[in-house]
Structure 1
Amino acid sequence: MLICYKQTEEKEDTEKERGDIMAENNTKELDFDRKHEEDLQRLRGLRLLDDDFMQKVFEDKACTEFLLQIILNRTDLKVLRVNGQQDIKNLQGRSVRLDILAVDAENRVYNIEIQRSDKGAGVKRARYNSSLIDANVTEPGEKYENLCESYVIFITENDIMKVGLPIYHIDRTVKETGELFGDESHIIYVNSQIKDESALGKLMHDFSCTDAKDMKYKILADRVRYFKEDEKGVATMCRAMEEMRNETARETEHAKAIKVAKGMLQSGKLSYEEIAEIAELSIDEVKALDEKVIA
């Protein structure tokens, strides 16, 4: 009887464990389904003015070429290569992610940024992006005269300059003469609020559309339709949104770790090694934080 009771008890434990595992799997499946449905809902509402969506659409070389031809009013412009979410570093090693980085047949470099927030499109941000491009396209020992011509282009949801113009071109000039400085470093702001019947106005209209059928330019409409209606395109966007969600979670956790490490550094009670272990950071990261705290 004792043996029989023990076997029954073990069987009940096994069934309970199996039930717990099934319940956990069901919860995970429901959570996945919920997130997937949320992604699909979000995807339906995305526009080219949303940088996550814009990056995928303009990874296509033909679309980027079309975009630049309209903004720069140059039909002869030919894009050789384009990268979305391009990471480039400053001299201190800090990484900055650019929405789109493209290079044309004349070796001109283009950084295209979408900004719905006025703060993110500030003049210092434009200057910073321009300097990063110069620093990253120059090889050690290369002559400054060989610097590539560069364009930093902000497509903004609002009129950053608040003058009511569709586009603003910024180039350095000699103050005393009014002549162009000629350093071939250009900054352009495109105001998406102007949606007239000009080529640029039609482009900005398309940037504001959530449905491909409402867009004016076929080349962009086809690309938008692919990511919103084609099975493979939708799957690509859902994967991209999942990756962005995971990256955001990692960045949040890292920010928390930085905050914890700074607090421990200020207390002065623990070694770099101990702080690194507790905060789950590298020792080099902790040392770098300590230098900033001291400064």
Structure 2
Amino acid sequence: MENLKSFDELTFLDNFMFQCVLRNPRLCKHLIEKILQISVKELHYQEFEKTINLGLASKGIRLDVYVRDEQGRVYDIEMQCTQFPQKGLAKRSRFYQSMIDMELLEKGEKYENLNASYIIFICTFDPFGRNLPMYTFTHCCEEENTIKLKDGETRLFLNSKGSENARDPEIAAFLRYVDGKAAEGEFVRSLDQEVQFVKSLEKVRREYMILSDEIRRRQEEAMAKGMAQGMAKGQSAFVKRMLARGKSIQEIADGLGLSADEIRTLAEMEES
């Protein structure tokens, strides 16, 4: 079972605090502008920890920070503290992009109306091992890389371990902060002050406590379900051994204190 931090232990790297801090439009806007080197006049928040689930049979996603600017450009900003197996993070970003595109393109709308989108992963590790402060991916032609696809899709991965190679001093300070160093510079100090401000809000503290209780409840339910499944598998294996030895269903039922129908169900369970 996952050990949840107390509210006072939360840092900018924790998803809950990360989302709360970037609810401040001034800080979120400045971070986007510094990372992408673009100008943004105004941000419109779509949802905090937005969930996109396109169907009962499809896998859904939860986005940390999902915003749109006055030009319709969409930004998904994710704090990534867990390192995936090789290509895992790249595939995850691909899936996020596809889900966002599916939601953006309403039924019957033309493909050319797809919004420009930016998926930004802020990583506490070097995702590609080249010690770059930032890895930016857009589509270009392999035969002639000056030919750009220009489909409006950009995926970026920030590397907190590559701060010494960042040209922009504010980005370098931000990466050091994500890497656990002290807050330096006006912008990063503003982020850190926002963390402290959020911690002073009783409403947010209660929100985190409710969320933590819900997470614990789900973990306990999952653990209980797992134990029940494990017990059923054990009983199934025992029933099959007894049947193989010539015991009747009723004899096994009497021995285990179960009904004959329950023994039949256990006998029919498939091994996994």
TM-score (norm 1): 0.66
Q: In the alignment, what sits opposite 1:110?
A: 75
For 1:79, give the aligned amino acid.
L
The structural deviation recorded for 1:209 is 5.1
Task: Give the aligned CA root-mean-square deviation in angstroms.
Answer: 3.0
* Equivalent pair of 1:193/1:204 in contact (CA under 8 Å): yes
Structure with the bigger percentage of helix = 1
Deviation, 1:241, is: 4.0
Shift, 1:134, TM fit: 0.2
- Whether contact under 8 Å (1:150, 1:186) holds in the other structure is yes
CA distance in 2, matches of 1:108, 1:251: 37
Aligned to 1:157: 124
Mind listing any 5+ residue stretches in structure 2 that lack a counterpart? 237-269
Match in the other structure for 1:236: 204
Residue-pair matches, total = 223
The question of whether the paired residues in 2 share the 8 Å contact of 1:167 and 1:189 is answered with yes
Q: Is the 8 A contact 2:40 2:69 kept in 1?
A: no
In 2, the alpha carbon distance for the partners of 1:104 and 1:47 equals 27
Q: Structure 1 105/251 Cα, relative in aligned 2: closer, same or farther at 3 Å?
A: farther
How far apart in 1 are the matches of 2:43 and 2:104?
A: 17
Of residues 166, 189, 197 in structure 1, which corresponds to 2:157?
Answer: 189
Q: Distance in 2 between matches of 1:205 and 1:129?
A: 27
Residues 25 and 43, structure 2, Cα contact 8 Å, conserved in 1: yes
Amino acid at match of 1:184: G
* More displaced stretch, 53-62 vs 189-198: 189-198
Deviations 1:232-283 (A, max 9, x none): x25413431431341342255257548968979xx8xxxxxxxxxxxxxxxx
SS at structure 1 position matched to 2:76:
strand
Q: Distance in 2 between matches of 1:159 and 1:112?
A: 17
The reply on whether 1:223 has 2:194 as its aligned counterpart is yes
Distance change in 2, residues 1:97/1:260 (3 Å) = farther
Question: What's 1:166 paired with?
Answer: 133
What percentage of residue pairs aligned between the two structures are identical?
Answer: 24
Contact conserved, 1:118 with 1:160, CA < 8 A, in 2? yes
Residues 167 and 191, structure 1, Cα contact 8 Å, conserved in 2: yes
Residue in 1 aligned with 2:44? 80
1:206-247 deviations in Å (ceiling 9; x for gaps): 334588xx453243233112123x2xx254134314313413
CA shift in 2, pair 1:131/1:174, >3 Å: same
Corresponding residue SS for 1:239 = helix
Cα distance in 2 for partners of 1:195, 1:238 equals 35
Q: Normalising to structure 2: TM-score of the pair?
A: 0.71
After TM superposition, give the deviation of residue 203 of structure 1 in Å: 1.8
The change in CA–CA distance for 1:255 and 1:69 in structure 2 (over 3 A counts) is farther
C-alpha distance in structure 2 between counterparts of 1:93 and 1:258, whole Å: 23
Tell me the amino acid that sits aligned with residue 81 of structure 1.
Y
Counterpart of 1:237, as a letter, is R
Counterpart of 2:176? Answer: 205
1:49·1:208 contact (CA, 8 Å) conserved in 2? no
CA distance in 1, matches of 2:114, 2:226: 37
Structure 2 distance, partners of 1:162, 1:241, is 37
Structure 2 CA distance for aligned equivalents of residues 200 and 151 of structure 1: 17
Separation in structure 1 between the aligned mates of residue 106 and residue 99 of structure 2, nearest angstrom:
13
Amino acid at match of 2:73: R
What residue identity is the alignment partner of 1:189?
A: F
Q: What secondary structure does 1:101 align onto?
A: strand
Distance 1:248 1:77, change over 3 A: farther
Native 8 Å contact 2:15 2:64 kept in 1: yes
Instruction: Specify the SS of the correspondent of 1:173.
Output: coil
- Partner SS, residue 119 of structure 1: coil
